[in-house]
Amino acid sequence: MPEQKRVLCKLAALALSLPLVSSLNLNVTAIGARDGFATLECWQMDSPFETSSQPGTSGTAMAMLSSVSNLSYSIIPSGFDGGVHNAPYTQWVMFTTGLAYITLPSDGNVSALVPGGQFGLIFAADTKDVTPEGHRTQYPGITETIALQIPTKDGKVPPHSVLHTGPCIANDVAGVREFAMAGATNVSQKVEARAENLLSFHLR
Ligand SMILES: *[C@@H]1O[C@H](CO)[C@@H](O)[C@H](O)[C@H]1NC(C)=O
Ligand SMILES: *[C@@H]1O[C@H](CO)[C@@H](O)[C@H](O)[C@H]1NC(C)=O
Ligand SMILES: *[C@@H]1O[C@H](CO)[C@@H](O)[C@H](O)[C@H]1NC(C)=O
Ligand SMILES: *[C@@H]1O[C@H](CO)[C@@H](O)[C@H](O)[C@H]1NC(C)=O
């Protein structure tokens, strides 16, 4: 257990300052389309993170991703198979819990396993007008999957570049993780205190 604490303190020492937000861009797994077929890619959004001045999050990193149209909340049972379908709208999909497994009927070599939670945000742009076929989504988790579907305003695809084919991987979200322990002034003290809390929670 003291070993865990030592590792956390070491990490804290490395994270003495906030990452530079203006050079940080969000990367999300996206279902796109090329030559009439759906694709799975890791997209980097053009609009960078900025330092928020909004009450409650002032000083933290915020990226304004796009204008949106509306928001729906879906509860999808464990084991559900959404079948092959097109994105109903050009939209953000945020999986808050559960597990989504996305495959492409046209390309068996690529798939995305998206766990709900911190990295559960994807973008879906394979609407019927750009690909007749689309993608397949299955929900193989043992819990329900919760999905927030957020169509963009006027069906716009937010400006982005393609980092690589296939879903985003750990390296593509490393910039988010950098914030875990940054920003605290007395970092090692705070982390030590947190470690104590975690340990006592574990022992309960
Ligand atoms: C939600 O947004 C989409 C895309 O803009 C639109 O087509 C749809 O009618 C909207 N649904 C509701 C219930 O407002
Ligand atoms: C999938 O991978 C196989 C084996 O590496 C390769 O022969 C095939 O061309 C690939 N298919 C596509 C659509 O990339
Ligand atoms: C997005 O990807 C770039 C390049 O791989 C990486 O430097 C950056 O940290 C990633 N962004 C986030 C928010 O993780
Ligand atoms: C940091 O810790 C020192 C020593 O415990 C304390 O005197 C100081 O007020 C702390 N600073 C902040 C910003 O919490």
Pair (5, 70) in one structural domain: no
Give distance in angstroms: CA of 160 to centre of ligand 2.
27
Pick the residue with more confidence: 203 or 141? 141
Residue 183, pLDDT > 60, answer no
Give distance in angstroms: CA of 39 to centre of ligand 2.
14
Residues 6+ apart with CB under 8 A from 195: 4, 5, 8, 9
Q: Which domain holds residue 204?
A: 1-18+179-204
Residue to mutate, 185, 188, 191, ligand 4, most ligand atoms under 8 Å from C-beta: 185
Pair (191, 120) in one structural domain: no
Confidence of residue 151 (pLDDT cuts 50, 70, 90): very high
Pair (126, 42) in one structural domain: yes
- Beta strands 107-115 and 37-45 are unpaired
Q: Express each pLDDT in 50-105 by its tens digit.
A: 999 999 998 889 999 999 999 999 999 999 999 999 999 999 999 999 999 999 99
Question: Residue 108 to residues 92, 98, 159: CA-CA distances in angstroms?
Answer: 24, 23, 28
- What local confidence, expressed as pLDDT, does residue 185 receive? 52
Residue 129, pLDDT > 90, answer yes
Taking residues 195-199, what's their average pLDDT?
64
Pair (6, 69) in one structural domain: no
Pair (26, 13) in one structural domain: no
- What local confidence, expressed as pLDDT, does residue 78 receive? 98
Cα end-to-end span (Å), the chain:
15
Pair (59, 133) in one structural domain: yes
Pair (117, 204) in one structural domain: no
Give distance in angstroms: CA of 165 to centre of ligand 2.
13
Residue of the CA atom closest to atom 2 of ligand 2: 109
Pair (164, 88) in one structural domain: yes
Q: Which of 178, 116, 109 is nearest to 147 (CA)?
A: 116
Q: Which of 58, 62, 54, 60 is nearest to 25 (CA)?
A: 62
Residues 6+ apart with CB under 8 A from 57: none
Q: Which residues pair with 107 in a beta bridge?
A: 104
Please tell me the pTM assigned to this model.
0.80
Torsion angles phi and psi, residue 75, rounded to 5: -110, 115
Pick the residue with more confidence: 19 or 64? 64
Pair (143, 195) in one structural domain: no
Pair (65, 103) in one structural domain: yes
Closest listed ligand to the CA of 48: 3
State the total domains in the chain: 2
Closest listed ligand to the CA of 193: 4
Pair (109, 10) in one structural domain: no
3-class secondary-structure state, position 203? helix
* Ligand 2 contact via 109 beta carbon (within 6 Å): yes
- What local confidence, expressed as pLDDT, does residue 10 receive? 55
Pair (67, 149) in one structural domain: yes
Question: Residue 18 to residues 15, 179, 182: CA-CA distances in angstroms?
Answer: 7, 7, 5
CATH number at residue 53: 2.60.120.10
Q: Whole-number mean pLDDT of the chain?
A: 88
Closest listed ligand to the CA of 88: 1
- What local confidence, expressed as pLDDT, does residue 1 receive? 55
Residue 202, pLDDT > 70, answer no
Residue 192, pLDDT > 60, answer yes
30 within 8 A of 43, measured Cβ to Cβ: yes
